[in-house]
Structure 1
Amino acid sequence: MSWILAVETSTEWCSVALGRLDADGTLACLSRHEHTGARSSSRVLPAAGELLAEAGIALADCAAIAFGAGPGSFTGLRTACGVAQGLAFGASLPVVPVNTLMACAERARRDGPPLPDGTAVLVALDARMDEAYTGAFAWRDGRWHALTAMQVGPPETVALPAGPYWLAGNAAEVFGERLAGLGGAQRLASDAMPDARAVAALAFGALARGEAVEAAEAMPIYLRDKVAQTIAEREAAAALRAAGSRP
């Protein structure tokens, strides 16, 4: 089975994996997962080169390049998408965008105890700005299905799935009791964060279903309409904070 190179930089971690499926469908994966903060862009390509050398293959031997498409850090998503596009262009390979919330659900399913039949996975990630990225997924027929629309907003406004669910992602640790759905979760998987191994695992199914795109068509998933404030907006916000702190 061909390999897939996967890149995930939607958080403060630089995660790169080189995976292939064994004959029995088991994922064999080489990976690098490092806390790099804002320096992911300088580490992605060296990590990819290390994995290819370790596997003894060339990039052109891969079936596709996968990347964590978002939602997540604006800079991190641009990094992952840009690297995937560049590598895919150079090797004439297709690109597989993978939803990072779905990657969290996949980690909760693969790394934890068996997911009971009929139990959904609600994913909630810290989106900064006192908001959370959220979405709920169900595992059916060997793949994930979205139960709720992805959203970004205050942690109190999370849309909950019907029926039993697990809660994955770091929002529970960040927001505590403010996070809607915390008390109703059958299991907490706060360490189920997006990584390249989960992206690679999901990419094989997506590739088989014909969901790969040309490199030029690969795009990040942004849930916020606006990702940065202008200088004037930052100054106005600072003035309001200062006014509010006066006796």
Structure 2
Amino acid sequence: MIHHSVTLNHSPTMLLIDTATEQGSVCLTHDGHLVSSEWSGALKHVESVLQHIKDLLSEGRVNMADIEVIAFSQGPGSFTGLRAGCGVTQGLALAYDIPVIPVPTLLMLAQQMDYPSVTVLLDARMGQVYGARYQRQGLLWQETLPAGLYEPQSLPQELVDSSVLVGSGADIYQAQLTAVQDKRLPPMVSGIQPHARWLMNYALNEFQQGRTLCADQAIPVYVRDKVALTTLERQQP
């Protein structure tokens, strides 16, 4: 289903793609408007993202040649999902000579919050979480602790020393997190999920600053050691 959203000021024609988790989404900004579309199912990301992009372009009466930049969620996240999103981004960018902007997946979650600082925990499966810490700077966020892979019961204090804790990792492992007595945990906000619309602020700033990449640099950031865990990960969405 296509959703019409906010009216934007001075926005380029951008395609925003998120396939980092089970829930996928794409957005199109054009002529001062943002439209979005979502689906569910990590194993269908490649076929879904292409069809939803086609639908958005048709709805907005936009051609791929009109797209000025493609922003995508680069990870960490689902191995299958990240490969799909980066593959589609790279293919379209190469075919139409469009620059790309990679956006950290965890940043999308921080972007939804109105707090001075945010700790983001994303479920990494296998009893682990991806975690990062962000500090607000105006409408943007400064990464103060880069994404890492952690055991929920062994988070460093510097990671959780923030105003609020969000993400699927916090939702799923809440019992393990709160059971650790030697950690000072911030309040948790549940139900915060990635969505392509939250790529926009970061991508717009990067685009305006001229910080774009070539298509072949649309590569995922896995964080987890792929050599040791690729086989196991591929068995999970």
Q: TM-score, normalised by structure 2?
A: 0.84
Contact 2:122 2:169 in 1 (8 A): yes
Aligned length: 217
Q: CA deviation at 1:127?
A: 0.3
- 1:90 and 1:206 mapped to 2: Cα distance? 22
- 1:164 and 1:127 mapped to 2: Cα distance? 21
| 1:8 lines up with 2:18 in the alignment | yes
| 1:120 lines up with 2:108 in the alignment | no
Which residue number in structure 1 is paired with residue 186 of structure 2? 185
- 1:12 and 1:3 mapped to 2: Cα distance? 26
Which residue number in structure 2 is paired with residue 91 of structure 1? 96
| 1:155 lines up with 2:152 in the alignment | yes
Q: CA deviation at 1:163?
A: 5.3
- 2:209 and 2:133 mapped to 1: Cα distance? 21
- 2:61 and 2:81 mapped to 1: Cα distance? 28
Residues 94 and 174 from structure 1, CA distance in 2 versus in 1: closer, same or farther, beyond 3 angstroms?
Answer: same
Q: Deviations over 1:151-210 (max 9, x none)?
A: 112112223447541111011221123126996323x33222211111233211122223
Q: Counterpart amino acid of 1:158?
A: L
Q: Superposition RMSD on alpha carbons, in Å? A: 2.2
Contact 1:6 1:197 in 2 (8 A): yes
Q: Counterpart amino acid of 1:135?
A: A
**Structure-to-structure mapping, 1:68-107, within 5 angstroms:** 68-107=73-112
- 1:21 and 1:127 mapped to 2: Cα distance? 37
- 1:202 and 1:135 mapped to 2: Cα distance? 16
Identity %: 31
Q: CA deviation at 1:6?
A: 1.0
Q: TM-score, normalised by structure 1?
A: 0.81
Q: Counterpart amino acid of 2:186?
A: A
| 1:19 lines up with 2:24 in the alignment | no
Which residue number in structure 2 is paired with residue 58 of structure 1? 63
Contact 1:10 1:77 in 2 (8 A): yes
Q: Deviations over 1:72-91 (max 9, x none)?
A: 01111010000001111111
Q: Any idea what SS the aligned residue of 1:149 has?
A: strand
- 1:168 and 1:209 mapped to 2: Cα distance? 29
Q: Counterpart amino acid of 1:97?
A: P
Contact 1:136 1:146 in 2 (8 A): yes
Q: CA deviation at 1:20?
A: 4.7
Contact 2:45 2:85 in 1 (8 A): no
Which residue number in structure 1 is paired with residue 216 of structure 2? 216
Contact 1:173 1:190 in 2 (8 A): yes
Residues 163 and 3 from structure 1, CA distance in 2 versus in 1: closer, same or farther, beyond 3 angstroms?
Answer: same
- 2:155 and 2:29 mapped to 1: Cα distance? 33
Which residue number in structure 1 is paired with residue 6 of structure 2? none
Contact 1:64 1:93 in 2 (8 A): yes
Contact 2:74 2:219 in 1 (8 A): yes
Q: CA deviation at 1:48?
A: 0.2
Contact 1:155 1:179 in 2 (8 A): yes
Contact 1:171 1:179 in 2 (8 A): no
Which residue number in structure 2 is paired with residue 241 of structure 1? none
Which residue number in structure 2 is paired with residue 25 of structure 1? none
Contact 2:15 2:26 in 1 (8 A): yes
- 2:69 and 2:93 mapped to 1: Cα distance? 7
- 2:184 and 2:65 mapped to 1: Cα distance? 48
Which residue number in structure 2 is paired with residue 49 of structure 1? 54
Instruction: Give 1:36's match in structure 2, choosing from 30, 35, 41.
Output: 41
- 1:105 and 1:50 mapped to 2: Cα distance? 28
Gaps of at least 5 residues in structure 1 are 23-27, 110-114, 235-247
